[in-house]
Amino acid sequence: MQKRKLGKLKLEVSALGLGCMGMSMGYGRADDQESIKTLHYAIEKGISFLDTSDLYGMGHNEILIGKALSGSRRDKVVLATKCGFVDMVKVDGSPQHIKKACDASLKRLGLEVIDLYYLHRADKNIPIEESVGAFADLVTAGKILHIGLSEVTPATLKRAATVHPITALQSEYSLWETKPESDILPLCDELDIGFVPYSPLSRGFLSGQYRKTENFEEGDFRRLLPKFQSTNLEHNLQIVDKLIRFSKDKGCTAAQLALAWLLAQGQNIVPIPGTRSIYRLNENIGALDVHLSAAELNEMRDFLKTHQAIGKQYPDEFNFEV
């Protein structure tokens, strides 16, 4: 398995991680036993970077990961989890909440230390310096090893980095969501911060297996997202169709091409596609064998210049960026 290093502290992880949210929430019903089988298989295949949060299933996902990592598997992974959300719409970035949440996550995971601990969203009412200071205290206490942030502005990231080295920034980034390229990615390069794209397959749509939101069962989070609503989706599927045509010429799947494109954007980038299927996991791993030439990358970039996805990232009530 290819490896990459995140941040100044050079946290080494597999070049492709595994996002675990869908095993507990967001994308319809999941089966714990199948999820654990997928987690075990991922570790066997060398995926060493697992991503979870105390928000996912309101603790269920961390308990699930804890079960999957029992025994010798713990030493084979870099585990990332997050804190900050009190519920689906309220954020608490106070030092008191962060430290309490860390203890709760450690208990659910059955671990003594968290490898990479993110602030899931910055709190608009708490200076980021106070929040990161609490994370630094957790590092000193030996409860976490590395600090991460998620979906913050460049200004907030700069302020945070003055308090303690930030190992990774996590934001949505894909052929459907290229906003980080304008400011966050250059800043991560400047500050030597690793970048972890979540939803690198645009919640499954870049795989080409979906054409409309009506395919999803009731309660599936994707039904709410602006990019997936009728008029927006019709436009955005142009990118998917181009990807499918390109992937056929390349001899790979659309999902593999989408991941290979992300991997080619920089050595400090480690995508974390989510899946609870061994079949899809194998497909994602295959992206590591897809190599894009400079000409091919330029062709995809030229296409994106005239075919940007439309629609907000989240509904207005889920806008937490600070």
Cβ contacts of 208 within 8 Å, gap of 6 or more: 240, 243, 244, 253, 254, 255
Cα-based distances in Å from 92 to 99, 119, 164, 189: 11, 10, 20, 29
φ, ψ (nearest 5 deg) of residue 146: -135, 155
- Residue 6's Cβ-side half-sphere holds a number of Cα atoms within 13 Å equal to 30
Q: Is 286 helix (H, G, I), strand (E, B) or coil?
A: helix
φ, ψ (nearest 5 deg) of residue 221: -55, -30
Cβ atoms 236, 311 nearer than 8 A: yes
**Alpha carbon distance 167, 191 (integer Å):** 10
Catalytic pick among 27, 56, 117, 198: 56
H/E segment holding residue 51: strand 49-51
**Alpha carbon distance 119, 96 (integer Å):** 13
- Residue 75's Cβ-side half-sphere holds a number of Cα atoms within 13 Å equal to 2
Region of 216 please: left (phi>0), alpha (psi -120 to 50) or beta: beta
56 classed as catalytic: yes
Tokens of 58: 């309101």
Cβ contacts of 178 within 8 Å, gap of 6 or more: 304, 308
**Alpha carbon distance 287, 278 (integer Å):** 15
H/E segment holding residue 262: helix 254-263
Residues with a known catalytic role: 56
